[in-house]
Amino acid sequence: MNWFYRIYHFALKCIVIFIGIPNPKLHQGKQGLSDAIAALGLQKGDPVLVVTDQALLKLNLHQVVEDALKQAGLVSHYYADILPNPTVENVENGLAAYQQHQCKGIISLGGGSVLDSGKLIGARAVKPNKRVTQLKGLFKVLKRLPPNIAIPTTAGTGSETTVAAVVNDPARNSKYAATDFCLVPHHAVLLPELTTSMPANITATTAIDALTHAIEALLSINCLKFSRERALNACRAIFEYLPKAQQDPFDVTARGQLLLASHYAGQAFTRTSVGYVHAISHQLSARYGTPHGLANAVLLMPVLTWYGDRINQQLALIARHCGLTSLDYPVERQADDLLNHIQALLHDLQIQTRLNEVLPHDAAHLAELALKEAHPDYPVPHFMDPYACQRIIKEIATAS
């Protein structure tokens, strides 16, 4: 089947080359938020659905959006019941709120779960006769979403610039993505001051999520110049500014650079797709409710180690670009320097190496689901077999 996968990957690359993938209009700061709202083209008095979660409401982080909407003469309605791993029910309830208030646009304020939910609520609004489960896979929407803005409050998922939206389906114990060009938000607003209240562990795991996006984009056989540049710049910013944000949570410059790194990493992987870290991570979130960023952070080193020497060129490129090695070293040494730096960073961030909720006897089933997700959709540089996947899962599982 490997030859079929590579033909499929080549077809995906052709789509990126000849059709292209849209980018959101990027805005930064409070003036950028006002500009984005004005660009929605709505009339005074029009209702807008603000999609967020309860934690952000309690922290009053929505106030900056509320003030900007009032200034623009728009009426806000809130749907704030998004879970950390958003469910099909979350999306359907959000759609009900959108329809009840006859909203004309959507502003999503939150982490990746909120931004993805906002995308899917918009997709359901323009596809009212299709259930969320029917949007799974590629190009099932194919219709322009209502005017929308994505405002990330975590520097990790890059969902404000991606073509995908991930949702959890508890009824089927599965997690899947809807992927369509129209799911790219119309506008993305980066407000670093909204991220200063993030706890240190969330700052760490979301940033490693973005780092994983960048690395897996660079490992993809479909990585082209734009994605390579974006991914490398994301890696460099994360290595430089994540420790600074951890040391001083109110360092707005560091927070802003991490948001931009997450945005760049999102632009990279939305053109290349991701890899086995994400394929396995999604199963852990669906099965155990493991936070996505944490799962990626725990899996990153085991998956990179499994690839071994086969990805030395890509790892060495990152090490050189980020100034983590000597240009005089052989490629193997440069690759090792990157891996050692990542390992040290994870240690300094106090990222655990095991997940207590993961059970070794689940490894075979989880590996089957992970590889089913990865093949053929992810243009990985080398294919993983079920036994290798099981070994990685058992490696990060609690002792039996």
Distance CA 105, CA 309 (A): 49
pLDDT of 24 above 70:
yes
Question: Could you tell me the pLDDT band of residue 176, with boundaries at 50, 70 and 90?
Answer: confident
Q: Name 104's bridge partners.
A: none
Name the pairing type of β-strands 164-169 and 174-179: antiparallel
Residue-level pLDDT at 399: 64
What are the pLDDT digits (tens) for 86-109? Answer: 999 999 999 999 999 999 999 999
Residue-level pLDDT at 170: 85
**Can you read off the two tokens belonging to residue 134?**
């029917």
Distance CA 232, CA 217 (A): 10
For CA atoms 290, 293, 294, 299, the dihedral sign is positive
What are the pLDDT digits (tens) for 206-259? Answer: 999 999 999 999 999 999 999 999 999 999 999 999 999 999 999 999 999 999
What are the pLDDT digits (tens) for 8-20? Answer: 999 999 999 999 9
pLDDT of 71 above 90:
yes
Domains defined for the chain, CATH in brackets: 22-194 (3.40.50.1970), 200-396 (1.20.1090.10)
As a whole-number percent, the residues of the chain with pLDDT over 70 amount to 100
For CA atoms 114, 115, 119, 125, the dihedral sign is positive
Residue-level pLDDT at 244: 97
Question: Could you tell me the pLDDT band of residue 360, with boundaries at 50, 70 and 90?
Answer: very high
Q: What is the pTM of this model?
A: 0.94
pLDDT of 33 above 60:
yes
Residue-level pLDDT at 140: 94
Residue-level pLDDT at 388: 98
3 state DSSP class of 388:
helix
What are the pLDDT digits (tens) for 185-205? Answer: 999 999 999 999 999 999 999
Distance CA 167, CA 186 (A): 20
The sheet carrying 25-28 orders its strands as: 25-28, 187-190, 148-152, 105-110, 47-51, 75-79
pLDDT of 358 above 80:
yes
pLDDT of 73 above 80:
yes
**Can you read off the two tokens belonging to residue 362?**
């689940």
